[in-house]
Amino acid sequence: MAEMKTKRKIRPRVAMPAQDALARAGNFNEVALGYSREQALVEAERCLQCKTPTCQAGCPVEIDIKGFITALCDDDLAKAYDILRQTNSLPAVCGRVCPQEHQCEGACVLGRKHEPVAIGRLERYVADAFMRQTGDTPDACRAATDLDACIPSRPERRVACIGSGPASLTVAGYLAGRGISVDVYEALHEPGGVLVYGIPEFRLPKAVVAHEVDGLKALGVTFRCNWVGGKTITIDDLFDQGYGAVFVGVGAGLPRFLGIAGENLVGVFSANEYLTRINLGRAYDHLNHDTPAYHARRTVVIGAGNVAMDAARTALRMGSSEVSVVYRRSEAEMPARREEIEHAVEEGVRLRCLCGPLSFHGDNQGCLKGLTVQKMALGEPDASGRCSPVCLDGQTEQIPCDMAVIAVGTRPNPILIEATPDLGLNKWGYVQTDPDTGETSIPNVFAGGDIVTGSATVISAMGAGRRAAQEIARRLL
Amino acid sequence: MGYTILEKQELIPGQTTMMVIDAPQIAAKARPGNFVMLRASERGERIPLTIADRDSARGTITIVFLVVGKTTAELAALNQGGEILDVCGPLGRPTHIENSGTVVCVGGGTGIAAMHHIAKGHAEAGNRVIAVVGARSRNLLLFCTELSAFCPELRVATDDGSAGHKGFVTEVLKDILDSGETIAEVVAIGPVPMMEAVSRVTLPYGVKTTVSLNSIMVDGVGMCGACRCTVDGKTLFACVDGPEFDGHAVDYAELKARLWQFREQEQGAMERFSKECRCDG
Ligand SMILES: Cc1cc2nc3c(=O)[nH]c(=O)nc-3n(C[C@H](O)[C@H](O)[C@H](O)COP(=O)(O)OP(=O)(O)OC[C@H]3O[C@@H](n4cnc5c(N)ncnc54)[C@H](O)[C@@H]3O)c2cc1C
Ligand SMILES: Cc1cc2nc3c(=O)[nH]c(=O)nc-3n(C[C@H](O)[C@H](O)[C@H](O)COP(=O)(O)OP(=O)(O)OC[C@H]3O[C@@H](n4cnc5c(N)ncnc54)[C@H](O)[C@@H]3O)c2cc1C
Ligand code: SF4
Ligand code: FES
């Protein structure tokens, strides 16, 4: 490999080993299997070690990418992991789910003429390999944060997080690592937010998330599941109980519907419902779990983001023989991660682009029978730079289906917001914060993640959590 | 780390069970009309149950449930001193209660228990509460003693005439509406056809009618839309916008269809549970 470096011949990117498309469409095991040590080293060697790397600025938390890849090339796994952890508390998660093509890899110098370095895959390799090496016990504390401090050294300094998605997990890890005692209040019965109830097992195994949560527990973080902020406990209650700061990371979970006829027919679901039943409720293993999921022969998914791809691929695995994704624009505009779209198509999902949903129709029992769509064409680019779809007059099509999953976005959940009238909101109804500190209109109440930005990404939620945690630490310590 | 069952009482043998659960944080906040989401065991389903009573001093809430499937059967199999794995609440908007005069609270079957907490709230607010309870037969009536404690009038209807009026609660309700007394509001909780019938009866009288919808729920905190229903032509989520709605504006046909969505899978879960029980026994 040394001679490769001198000659600077660019090898192709090391392909990610994956389960065979046919086989995986019938199971819920992880699709991308992860690099072996040898593959990771070969891929790491592709990095040009640029003097002024551009990738780092492409990462929302500015991981020292060159640094961790160098450590990997030197076969110093612990150091590579350490570098990742300095700015990213969930590398095993991000390596799997970040839209790298728009972030670090999109900014990689090599990507201008060749394929960019597979930064996400290397990140995942380092996190997974380090976890395997350290096992579950010895360094849980170290593994969960960038500092050693397993028992809160300042238990009188208390912080509460509401919600347990990536934003709150980041806050908890950062502060617990600095000796502050953190309690996380979660409405559902399992911590992790979208990472457990939304993103399916075949893309992000629950064990990976559970491992991160266990690491935080080992650090002294307490998780209080079944506590609903605004119902079981209000922000005022938390301050009355002696918390010095509150972080609001409740996500943007309220599903949007289309507002078209027939939307409440039996067989029409929000992606959140469909995925929650199957992920949080483990309905994919229905013989051993009680939460039911709908079984359909022909499934239509509306939308084209990660959520839509997850729903479509889940429907295939749940036994639908025909699954199509209905989208108003063309494939090029689809917001999902490229890899997810490719995986979906390989598995047999049909993309029906340039189709806008018009109405659902059902039988006399109130059960879904089909979807009528309006055919579209691409028009001029709109303000966002994407081509806006225009209707082709009179051209409609009927798509027979017995299940439809709607994945067209979410809105802020009203529960905590209604219970906290002083919490300032922006014009879209999300929580307004100071961009530098994450502080809301209520002093010492911080917010970050989807509840501030609307549905975004894991890494941006973590970045917001980190900024807020830094400010909280500054004030409390 | 579950929630301890402090008392358990089989109100109707083999059918309806009442439990008093230790949950101080929920008891402190619970108001009439609120419900909880609970899960009996690790592999179980989250289901909604109404808070039928609360004792904030003691830190307890009371639930009353009818065994209709796997989760309720599993719950009923738990004993005093045992634990329920997850109890989350109090959820939903509490009943709108103000001092408004005479309120008729109608409860059918297990719905009588849920109605009890609301009737109590109205009585505490100084309203004159007329309770109307109905069941198939005398031995299936619930909470009559408790209701009598704060309702100056308790009217009973049974299908077989074994207690009170022989017939439906709607017939008793119509009598009350015809009696000339000014009725500020009618609250109805019970099976969907009963709530629909009550709303049909009150409509010509122009009396405000509130019903509590028992739509299927997954999270109970507004994240899935499973509980959505059409009220006044608008889609609303029963768990965060309700569960109580204007009875005259609800699309009952849609609600009924949606309640049966998972019948096959539910039966599967129940069959497996009964088998396991037999093996254990
Ligand atoms: C199906 C799906 C696939 C996705 N795929 C990707 C992907 O591949 N890559 C990517 O980067 N992003 C992806 N995303 C987006 C990403 O998951 C989110 O942007 C991210 O999880 C937001 O994190 P968060 O911490 O703000 O909140 P969330 O992860 O939404 O967590 C919020 C938590 O707060 C809880 N909560 C809500 N209200 C209350 C309350 N009142 N009291 C207590 N707890 C409460 C919720 O139950 C939840 O557990 C996906 C999202 C979905 C739904
Ligand atoms: C706000 C609310 C309050 C309720 N309060 C009470 C109460 O106080 N006492 C009581 O006995 N029942 C109550 N119910 C109904 C109760 O939730 C269901 O009977 C219970 O979920 C049945 O679960 P199972 O597994 O035993 O039966 P299953 O075999 O799963 O289902 C039997 C029937 O119960 C209904 N059901 C199933 N799952 C759900 C679900 N997740 N959410 C709602 N309904 C479901 C369906 O109509 C189904 O056909 C309430 C429902 C709601 C929405
Ligand atoms: S966290 Fe995401 S953006 Fe940053 S280096 Fe890792 S994969 Fe790239
Ligand atoms: S139960 Fe999920 S939104 Fe109401």
Q: Which residues of B touch A276 (CB under 8 A)?
A: 218-219, 223-224
Tell the residue number behind the tokens 């501030």, with chain if given: A452
Ligand 2 binding pocket includes B114 (Cβ within 6 Å): yes
- pLDDT at residue B276, as a whole number: 65
Among B36, B239, B241, B245, which residue has the most ligand 4 atoms within 8 Å of its CB, making it the best to mutate? B239
How far, in Å, from the CA of A456 to the mean position of ligand 1? 9
A421 shares its domain with A393: no
Asked if the Cβ–Cβ distance from B218 to A270 is below 8 Å, we say no
Could you tell me whether strands A245-248 and A445-447 are parallel, antiparallel, or unpaired per DSSP bridges? Answer: parallel
Instruction: Express each pLDDT in B191-210 by its tens digit.
Output: 999 999 999 999 999 999 99
| Number of domains within chain A | 3
- pLDDT at residue A136, as a whole number: 53
Phi, psi of B113 (to 5 degrees): -65, -45
Asked if the Cβ–Cβ distance from A273 to B224 is below 8 Å, we say yes
Of A189, A266, A291, the CB nearest to B261: A266
- pLDDT at residue A143, as a whole number: 52
ipTM of the predicted structure?
0.89
Q: What's the CATH number where A102 sits? A: 1.10.1060.10
A271 shares its domain with A387: yes
Asked if the Cβ–Cβ distance from A253 to B260 is below 8 Å, we say no
Residue A47 inside a domain? The answer is yes
Instruction: Express each pLDDT in B47-78 by its tens digit.
Output: 999 999 999 999 999 999 999 888 999 999 99
Residue A432 inside a domain? The answer is yes
CATH among 3.90.550.10, 3.40.50.300, 1.10.3430.10, 3.40.50.80 for B102-212: 3.40.50.80
Q: Which residues of B touch A252 (CB under 8 A)?
A: none
How far, in Å, from the CA of A103 to the mean position of ligand 3? 7
Asked if the Cβ–Cβ distance from A413 to B88 is below 8 Å, we say no
Top CATH class, B3-91 = mainly beta
Q: Is B265 on the interface with A (CB under 8 A)?
A: yes
User: Helix or strand or coil: residue A43?
Assistant: helix
- pLDDT at residue B76, as a whole number: 93
Ligand 2 binding pocket includes B214 (Cβ within 6 Å): yes
Where does a domain end: A406, A431, A450?
A406
Task: Output the residue whose Cα is nearest ligand 3's atom 3.
Answer: A59
A208 shares its domain with A240: yes
Q: Is B243 on the interface with A (CB under 8 A)?
A: no
Where does a domain end: A83, A103, A135?
A135
The nearest CA of chain A is from the CA of B144 a distance in Å of 30
A14 shares its domain with A131: yes
Atom of ligand 3 minimally distant from the CA of A88: 1
- pLDDT at residue A3, as a whole number: 42
- pLDDT at residue A70, as a whole number: 95
pLDDT-derived band at B239 (thresholds 50, 70, 90) equals: very high
Of B29, B43, B223, the CB nearest to A276: B223
CA distance between the termini of chain A: 48
The nearest alpha carbon in chain B to A267 belongs to B261
Question: Region B251-265: what's the mean pLDDT?
Answer: 86
How far, in Å, from the CA of B48 to the mean position of ligand 2? 6
A345 shares its domain with A443: no
User: Helix or strand or coil: residue A142?
Assistant: helix
B3-91 and B102-212 in the same fold: no
Low-confidence stretches of chain A (pLDDT beneath 50): 1-6, 137-138, 140, 144-145
Ligand nearest to the CA of A411: 1
Residue A422 inside a domain? The answer is yes
A173 in Cβ contact with A152 (< 8 Å)? no
Q: Which of B10, B253, B226 is nearest to A268 (CA)?
A: B226
pLDDT-derived band at B277 (thresholds 50, 70, 90) equals: low
Among A97, A168, A194, which residue has the most ligand 1 atoms within 8 Å of its CB, making it the best to mutate? A194
CA dihedral angle for residue A303, residue A308, residue A312, residue A315, rounded to 10 degrees: -110
How far, in Å, from the CA of A449 to the mean position of ligand 1? 8
Asked if the Cβ–Cβ distance from A270 to B225 is below 8 Å, we say yes
A160 shares its domain with A124: no
CA distance between the termini of chain B: 26
Q: A471 is in which domain, residue-wise?
A: 146-253+411-476
Q: What's the CATH number where A191 sits? A: 3.50.50.60
Instruction: Express each pLDDT in A112-165 by its tens digit.
Output: 889 999 999 999 999 999 988 876 544 545 554 455 555 666 777 899 999 999
- Reduced 3-state DSSP string for B198-265: HHHHHHHHCCEEEEECCCCCCCCCCCCCCCEEEECCEEEEHHHHCCEEECCCECHHHHHHHHCCCHHH
Task: Say whether pLDDT at B146 is over 50.
Answer: yes
CA dihedral angle for residue A390, residue A393, residue A399, residue A402, rounded to 10 degrees: 80
Both tokens of A431, joined, read 């929580």
Q: Where are the domains of chain B?
A: 3-91, 102-212
A278 shares its domain with A398: yes
Among B93, B216, B218, which residue has the most ligand 4 atoms within 8 Å of its CB, making it the best to mutate? B218
Question: Region B101-124: what's the mean pLDDT?
Answer: 94
Residue A2 inside a domain? The answer is no
Residue A3 inside a domain? The answer is no
A152 shares its domain with A48: no
Residue A140 inside a domain? The answer is no
A469 shares its domain with A394: no
A293 shares its domain with A217: no
A123 shares its domain with A179: no
Distance CA B190, CA B213 (A): 9
A110 shares its domain with A57: yes
Q: Which of A267, A278, A330 is nearest to A301 (CA)?
A: A267
